[in-house]
A and B are shown apart, each in its own frame.
Chain A
Amino acid sequence: MAQQNEKMAYYPGCSMDGLGKAYQKSTEVVFRDLDIPMDRIKDYNCCGATEVKNISYDLSVFLPTRNLALAQEMGAKTVIAPCNGCVYALARANKTISEDSGSRERLGKYLAEADLPQYGGEVEVKHVLEVIRNSVGLDAVRSKVTKPLKGLKVACYYGCLYTRPKVYTGAGLQSGKDNPEHPFFMDELLQAAGATTVDYPVKTICCGGGHTIADREVSIGFSAAILNEAARAGADMVSTMCPLGQVNIEMNIPKITEQYGAGIIRPVVYFTQLMGLAFGHSRREMAIQENLSDANGVLKRMGY
């Protein structure tokens, strides 16, 4: 198994210790199984997501920079983040600091004021999905599978900020990054775990998660589109890789059922939960029961 020589720091982000706890639990298990170390950044803070930048540009760069500086202090060359929003915010801060000298100067001043180490944009930001696929490889994943997800049709939903925009994340420009418009890493991983992935057109559409409560119409519309297209492609479930997307779609399910009927509803799970099931762990271990949508029925029928 290819071991990573350089140290990687793990930035969980707020959701992983809150609503996305099931994602955290399943990611921990998958990392352990694949021998990927998980060194948490202690005392991390919120990255500001996409909200803070609408109020203050400097603060929206400063918040993620603190986390990056802490990671560098740990001796890490890479930061792993499980949430699309965090990947975006961290990568954006990196880009700003390394390319905009004016911002770098101001940020340096702020970091000194807060007694933090200086940071120049050296740490690389990666999504959990990229790390699992690239650092151990698909063969290693295949060798770990004891209960392949045979016959399970999964619609992989990547969401918006995983690869977008490439000027920040480097998708399609650097090696080891996914295709910015047609991502395929999750499909590959779940296929390696034995599942069938369906092709459907809204893999990278927005889920409306940024305005889950602020703009109900848009949020419900997008969530319904994702579920509808997944159902049309014949998927048994939708798998996500972002706690915000997951919770947003799940929260909208009651309303979507009311507006569009129960026929298009598919349960939503994290991709790490499916991988964990394929590695022989139980549904309870993968915290399937903690999801707001009910995937237990489908999985029981499949024999998990």
Chain B
Amino acid sequence: MPIHEKSLIDGVIEKEKAVVDGVDVSGRWNTFIKERLLTDYHEDFVQEVKSLQGGKTVTNCWQCGTCTSGCCLHTDYGLREFNPRYFIYLAQTGNVEELKKYENVIWRCISCNKCVERCPKGVKVEEVVHAIDEVMRKRGIAEDTPGSRWDRTYLDNIMATGVLDELGLTLKYVRSEKPADFTRGFMARMAFKIIKNGNVRTGPIRRRTKGWKKMKKVADSILEADGYGSTK
């Protein structure tokens, strides 16, 4: 078969002279795809995604691409590598090798849910993409990302007293990740304004939910069942 979209395919072989079964097929019929084996695909990958509550709908996808065409990151921001339709395709086929190339892209989903809103097949795309990310990290295909570290810092923060301490969360994350433009001066200016308003209570005087202890015990047991270590 002639291959028209050569640029899209990995491993195209172009022969100058091609003879198949003694027949010369040079010229138009000289292009072949590198042999691929079924063993290159991890068929159980999609099952693992599906086994997560958030990834349940992964197999509903028909690959229409509505999610990608509306995606805030892909279309509005212009991060073209971020392509949820493709991530789902790779997960469905279990092409882990290709999926690994996107380990530093998938986490950047900002959960705006436009894809879930528009999907004609009822795929919870945003949750599925996060489930794919989770399975990749569980299997050791992908490393921790700023996104996953942020989620964890957030969870640890709210688990301490039941309500969020915004300033504490920001300081903790900035201290460990050091985003370039969160300089000392910038932080000081922001903190000055916020503290002057007297609205934020952080550190030992942060707000607490009454009766959180009982709730925390149950929450911790849920996290343990989900394979997440204890929260500090």
Contact = CB atoms under 8 A, between A and B. Distances in A.
Interface of A: 14-15, 17-19, 21-22, 42-46, 48-59, 62-63, 66, 88, 103, 110, 113-115, 160-161, 163-167, 180-181, 202, 204-206, 208-211, 213-216, 218, 221-222, 225, 251, 254-255, 290, 292
Contacts of A44: 163, 209
B205 interface: no
Nearest to B148: A54
A53 B133 CA distance: 13
B109 to A, nearest CB: 8
Contacts of A114: 214-215, 217-218
Interface in B195-214: 197, 199-201, 207, 209-212, 214
Given A44-B163, A213-B182, 10 more contacts: A15-B164, A45-B215, A49-B154, A53-B54, A55-B226, A57-B226, A88-B113, A165-B116, A218-B77, A222-B77
B90 interface: no
Contacts of A42: 210
B164 A292 contact: no
A56 B113 CA distance: 18
Contact of B222 (A110, A160, A254): A110
Contact of A206 (B112, B147, B164): B112
A164 B114 contact: yes
Interface of B: 52-54, 72-73, 76-77, 79, 108, 110-114, 116-117, 122, 124, 127, 130, 133-134, 146-152, 154-155, 158, 162-167, 170, 173-174, 177, 179-182, 186, 189-190, 193-194, 197, 199-201, 207, 209-212, 214-215, 217-219, 221-223, 225-226, 228
Nearest to B76: A205
B192 to A, nearest CB: 11
A213 B76 CA distance: 20
B215 A50 contact: no
Contacts of B152: 55
Contacts of A202: 76
Given A160-B112, A160-B114, A164-B112, A213 B150 contact: yes
